[in-house]
Structure 1
């Protein structure tokens, strides 16, 4: 913001780092969610679009302007961008943009995972494009590897819905299951439950409408089966929580939780 120009935003003609384009995406998404101002999401999409169209190699793989001679801080920047791009996606409603961003993240992750890992020490270099033929270049260290893992986590969070669904359950979105008024259904819940066990238990509950599975700190997983069943007929070892909703139509967008809706 330049006060000498009446408080208008102007380009400082500095280097366009990827992380600067990333951190604002989450801020705009959260602000749009609170204010219901969808124009903020339009701004976020324009920033994301410009980044994945301009800060790339010819194979559409993300590129930092300093490559290949980035310092340890700069080696983290691309990971920050893709992390926040993944945070933005659940707040979007435009299918074309969602598909574009998911595809970009998945393509980058596949390229890095399959061709950029140094077999000598398991580290990843700063260059993600496979146009660099040396996967064990001297740029690799914990900073560049941390950025690669940010990318892998972003890819895991945004994997296509088809791979997150089954014939009986469909992925509704990131976050806890709720209705249009933001209310939650009664639920059977249990800590330290894998997603597979969560789904299997929900399958056995005839009154189950949906379930959400939450990942927390290492070793922490939490399952809630949103149900219409009698509280006395719950699965052994599970707790019951009473709530007011009678159906599930949306989620609260929490990034570490996924909601699955039963297909009737």
Structure 2
């Protein structure tokens, strides 16, 4: 293995503290993600004939936040720590110990949006297209937070940009957090913007998000260190990859269904 690698800088996860209150880099990334999503949503709502008001955007942010937190925590416990949950059901509520699942967060947001669509009488597919545009940049901010925290690092490697993370052993690793920042954050956002400009059928932007995120995450999992307590599962895939498969299938199915609806409508 090459001796050339990057030594991770010693970054204090706490930016500053005031008494018992500490402001952490990871929390700041979540705040930045929320502010970016709110800005994008309000700009879209302000456009003529958008069908949205800023009050509705505010409600959307609230229900979306609940969906992310509750779904992310429940998903993490069920997908990654189910055995621990069976031994100690109260573990589900000890959020301060860490542990959130993106896939669980997606399910939580989808559930919250069902209620929001019913409450506001909005079309669920169109709502999904609106919501997914708010996600990629927030995801990217979260991955930067993972990198600053020196967590969720990659597998060992000898590529020139390998990083020696504190607490990850003596060997350099892929900075997989940055791979996810680029693919799940920047690239996915640009891809969604481009596709939305093509005026696809309702629900197809959401479908592309599911298929795009699932595909990018599936690829990055080959470079990301599997969870220590789970390791590599059947067929040589990680838990993250197994959870991405339903996303990819659902996304492709949603896109196909959208164009099928449009073609049938054109024939009527």
Give the TM-score normalised by structure 1: 0.29
Considering only CA atoms, is the larger Rg found in Structure 1 or Structure 2?
A: 1
Greater relative CO, 1 or 2 (CA 8 Å, sep 6+): 2
Give the TM-score normalised by structure 2: 0.29
